[in-house]
Structure 1
Amino acid sequence: MSKTNDLIILVARILLSVMFIMSGFDKLVNPAGTAGMITGAGLPAADLLAYAAGLFELVAGLFVLVGFQTKLTGWALALFCVFTGLVFHSSAINVPDFPAAANGWLTVFNQIMLMKNITLGGAYILLATFGPGAYSIDARRGVVVTA
């Protein structure tokens, strides 16, 4: 692979990691919003799951950033993205006492979040399949991931 492609992959890894590093950190220091969404989805142990999600997102985001355990992390994030998209973003929003137009806007926003999650799932499958490039811990360790 060329140095240019490896540099592009590095930039892509940085971009793919930012959301999860920031989101994971936020869930760890302020889990209430996530716990509320988990409760609203009917899942048990909302506080525990919020912290677990935060820890997973932070660690997985850091792994993507540095290119460590890329195949496993890519597949795990792909599954996480699709799962959370389907569980938390696939239904209409109906907040009691909100105007119909506001609930409609929130539903459209939720659909966009579902599409974002599914799209990110595809990006992480590509990362898992084609690898982290030369500028990564995996490459330094001699781990070769190619299609």
Structure 2
Amino acid sequence: MSIISSLFALIGRILLSAIFIISGIGKMTDISGTAAYMATAGLPTNLAWPVAIFELVAGLAILLGIFARLAALLLAIFCLLAALMFHNDFADPMQAAHFWKNVGLAGGFFSLFAYGTLAHSFDAWRARRRTVVVEREPGTTPVEPDRRPWSWRWRNRRV
């Protein structure tokens, strides 16, 4: 993967996660307003805290790349449900815009689910760490490398 591709993948993750991190914090700071808004859609008000926590945690998971594929799938479903439940009044241009915004976000999350986080993420680091093996001598059994980046085994590893 090129440096440009990995950089834009990181920028995309930052932008996709920002709205949920900010929204989750906003919901937590005004939980009564969140509960009242959820009640207008016929949802129980006691879901306000779980929704706020979910938005914050899932946004952070996307940002850091920790279980990002699972978080992306859950956020895609969340966006589609939010679009259908809260932004279904197409007579109001703002609600229609919010509907299509959520559909677009869901598309981005489905793409992230399909292709993963690529580079610069905890998931990518964990995958690289799992696949690194070093051969002591040709024909011998591969061994796990020394995890210290300054060691000769780390610098001479095979990927």
Do both proteins adopt the same fold according to a TM-score greater than 0.5, normalized to the shorter chain?
yes
Size of the aligned set, in residue pairs, is 128
Structure 2 equivalent of residue 3 of structure 1: 3
Structure 2 equivalent of residue 85 of structure 1: 83
CA RMSD of aligned residues (A): 1.3
Q: Deviations over 1:48-76 (max 9, x none)?
A: 21111110000011011111101101100
Matching of residue 126 in structure 1 with residue 124 in structure 2: no
Structure 2 equivalent of residue 97 of structure 1: none
Q: What SS is found at the alignment partner of 1:68?
A: coil
| Contact kept? 1:63, 1:69, Cα under 8 Å | yes
Cα distance in 2 for residues equivalent to 1:58 and 1:126: 20
| Aligned-residue offset at 1:35 | 1.2
Considering Cα pairs closer than 8 Å and 6+ residues apart, tell me whether 1 or 2 has the greater RCO. 1
Q: Percent of aligned positions with the same letter in both sequences?
A: 40
Structure 1 equivalent of residue 140 of structure 2: none
Q: Which amino acid aligns with 2:32?
A: A
Cα distance in 1 for residues equivalent to 2:87 and 2:33: 15
Matching of residue 76 in structure 1 with residue 74 in structure 2: yes
| Aligned-residue offset at 1:33 | 2.4
Cα distance in 2 for residues equivalent to 1:138 and 1:9: 13
| Contact kept? 1:14, 1:65, Cα under 8 Å | yes
Structure 1 equivalent of residue 100 of structure 2: 115
Structure label with greater radius of gyration: 2
Moved over 4 A (4+): none
Structure 2 unmatched runs, 5+: 129-159
Q: What SS is found at the alignment partner of 1:53?
A: helix
| Contact kept? 1:60, 1:77, Cα under 8 Å | yes
TM-score scaled to structure 2, two decimals? 0.77
Structure 1 equivalent of residue 22 of structure 2: 22
Q: What SS is found at the alignment partner of 2:127?
A: coil
